[in-house]
Amino acid sequence: MKSFCLYSRWYSKRKSHSIFYVGWLLIVLFVLILSGCGRKEKKQVQITREMVRAAAFLSDLTFDDAEIDSMLDGLNGYRSSYQAIRRKSLTNDVSPAFVFSPVPQEYKPEVYNGLPDEGLPAKVQMPENREELCFYSVSELSVLLRTRQVTSEELTRLYISRLRKYDPVLHCVVTLLEDRAMARAKQADREIIAGKYRGPLHGIPYGVKDLLDVEGVPSTWGSRLYEKHIARHTAAVVQRLDSAGAVLVAKLSLGEFAMGDVWFRDMTRNPWNPATGSSGSSAGSAAATAAGLVGFAIGSETWGSIVSPSTVCGVTGLRPTFGRVPRTGAMALSWTMDKLGPIARTAQDCALVLAVINGIHPGDPASVNVPFSFNASQNLKDLRVAYDAEIFTRNYPFRANDSSVIEVLKHLGLHLFPVKVPDTIPVNALSIILEAEAAAAFDEITRSGLDSMMVRQSKDAWPNIFRQARTIPAVEYIQANRLRTLLIREFSQLFQKADVIVFPSLEGDQLLITNLTGHPAISVPSGFDAQGMPTSVTFVGNWYCEQNILLLASAYQKATQWYKKTPPAFTPSE
């Protein structure tokens, strides 16, 4: 108490002086701040002739001195505009004001609108070793669940047990959702017993690529920068699968920001050879499906991210028509190229999933209201099937397996005819569309320097691509999209003759072409290479005509049975 009184007396004597000193200090600080701002403004570097020449060189342009001098004021004005734009923070879920559609207005798809015929088996036998259920197709599991030979709770426990057991090998799980899954599995069992059957996905455990939001759960996008990011909403696709009674068991790995198979914890491994990666970016979705850790999974594709991992992991991947499946609640990489689709054991399984996740959603302005209903009874021989004859004659690693696909299709009674993919457009040059949009989607990461914290730092990784893309002129981005219009017109002409075109999955330019044109594709296993690794073939169809490619893929799979092959190290012993 004494010390407090002494301080009070000292403070009362000094109070008037203190106020005087503090007042002067504030004035001095204010003057310094103003003078500092003034110096900053005066010292701000102005754009010079040399800078313009260098920038023009990056754009493959040349200007003379008079032209450059006339540009300087405007260019400095642009910089002020950039700064004004950057002062408004933009989150990844804010899309541009334009909406892309690859489909010409006059195009009228021949869509099957009848009652669905999923082609489900009439009877399915339970295995002696119940763990083998984890390698059953969704179609088979659906029958077992509907006839109450197995419960969703039992299936879910089996899959969760395998996820725990094998994730240390495969590194495919970002977040295990055990509590959520078990609650929904028990709910599914109660509903099935009560006769409230929601359809073929009711009670089926599945996983989603970790760029899809689930409320209250981390959405990491494969990056340590978002490791602690908790989603506030649930993605439209997950909501639709919830409504269908499917049981979400895990969020699965992806290459950081949807590139490759390397993410912030490790590289996702291939079940056929864990010393290798599972490709990307839907790495975890493909690996988990192949290893029997989920019944099916949701992946995404911008440029091969469903087809490539499905190929190397030996599973079936469907990339639907651009806009058919809404991307609401998904990480945006490229607003004009991103697509969501299923990865499963069979084409028939993919059809069951597409029937649920398909359709327009207000959160995705590019989504469309085009119905989908699978008709397994359609006559296969009604399909007009073509193949790119020139590519199939090249000397490439999987040529033998791809050629055998053509023979199998002919054996099914189909009369294949050759077509030639147009080559008048510089397709690979159009990849600047993806790079510019991706750089915009992650603009603040580049400007803040946080890109230095990303896992991969090579020349061909996102941090460097994002930086490079800052130099892509807006004019060239638009010009590339104008060429894209011509590409769409030229490629779509092939479907005036054909319903389905057969392509090697990873040879030639078809993968980039069809991602730019928005056409649907399905990749199905076609055998194994000399090292015992899976290979695949891809069937491409016209816009919204997934029925055709699913029908052909299903017939091919029944004829070959490659989809029944499972990675030995993950297959339950007899």
Q: Which SS3 state, helix, strand or coil, does residue 472 take?
A: coil
pLDDT of residue 253: 98
pLDDT of residue 532: 97
CB 247 within 8 A of CB 206: yes
| pLDDT mean across residues, the chain | 92
When mean pLDDT is compared across 11-20, 92-101, 137-146, 310-319, the lowest value belongs to 11-20
The residue-averaged pLDDT of 455-479 equals 96
Is the pLDDT confidence value at 34 over 50?
no
Name the pLDDT band for 43 (thresholds 50, 70, 90). Answer: low
Distance between CA 95 and CA 401 in Å, rounded? 42
pLDDT of residue 574: 65
Distance between CA 150 and CA 142 in Å, rounded? 10
Pairing of strands 173-176, 296-301: unpaired
Q: Between the CA of residue 202 and those of 186, 193, 196, 221, 241, what are the distances in Å?
A: 11, 12, 10, 28, 9
Return the amino acid letter for 379.
N
The residue-averaged pLDDT of 515-519 equals 98
CB 264 within 8 A of CB 252: no
CB 544 within 8 A of CB 321: yes
Is the pLDDT confidence value at 534 over 80?
yes
Q: Give the residue, 310 or 34, on which the prediction is more confident.
A: 310
* Chain segment 102-140, per-residue pLDDT in tens: 999 999 998 888 889 999 999 999 999 999 999 999 999
* Chain segment 347-395, per-residue pLDDT in tens: 999 999 999 999 999 999 999 999 999 999 999 999 999 999 899 989 9
pLDDT of residue 515: 98
* Chain segment 187-218, per-residue pLDDT in tens: 999 999 999 999 999 999 999 999 999 999 99
The residue-averaged pLDDT of 504-518 equals 97
- Domains of the chain, by residue range, sit at 45-88, 132-425+456-561
CATH architecture of the region 132-425+456-561: Alpha-Beta Complex (3.90)
pLDDT of residue 495: 97
Q: pTM (2 decimals)?
A: 0.90
The residue-averaged pLDDT of 547-563 equals 98
The residue-averaged pLDDT of 324-339 equals 98
Pairing of strands 296-301, 205-209: parallel
pLDDT of residue 45: 87
Other CB atoms within 10 Å distance of the CB of residue 81: 9
The residue-averaged pLDDT of 419-427 equals 95
Percent of the chain with pLDDT over 70: 92
Both tokens of 240, joined, read 């639709």
The residue-averaged pLDDT of 143-168 equals 98
The residue-averaged pLDDT of 38-60 equals 78
